[in-house]
Structure 1
Amino acid sequence: MTTLTVTAKGQVTLKKELLQHLGVQPGQKIEVDPLPGGRLSITAARPKGKIEDFYGIVAGKTDKVATIEEMNEVIEKGWAGLLR
């Protein structure tokens, strides 16, 4: 179990290993849900919406022809909400 300290502002900082466990990167969001008995559920926030909303997000950003690897990287970042 990990113990966190609450600041005077009522904030806590999750340790790096906890964020890695959630699969959360800097700039991404987490969701916190209250549970009975004073417990919380913390999960990585997942993009909401339809895949169709993602189509064309990088269109016209460059004249370069992208490789499959580059396209996959952009797709991952876009779906994670890191591009807009």
Structure 2
Amino acid sequence: MSATVTTKGQVTIPKQVREFLGIVPGTKVDFRRGADGTIVLTRADDKRPASRFARLRGQAGGGLDTDAIMALTRGEE
């Protein structure tokens, strides 16, 4: 991924990076220099964003209980 620096020295953080780090408006970030000279972007608060699985947890909503599902698979009504 790449981004272009504006005349004011600003860069838009790519959406995939923002989503991965959980960066939303108002989130503070740190720039650190790695041992190999690379620059690493991290969240300043060290919070880890919810995993993609955690974000989906509880999204199925209310539905059938186990007995009802088993009855459907057996063709019972």
TM-score normalised by L of structure 2: 0.50
TM-score normalised by L of structure 1: 0.46
Higher relative contact order (CA 8 A, sep 6+): 1
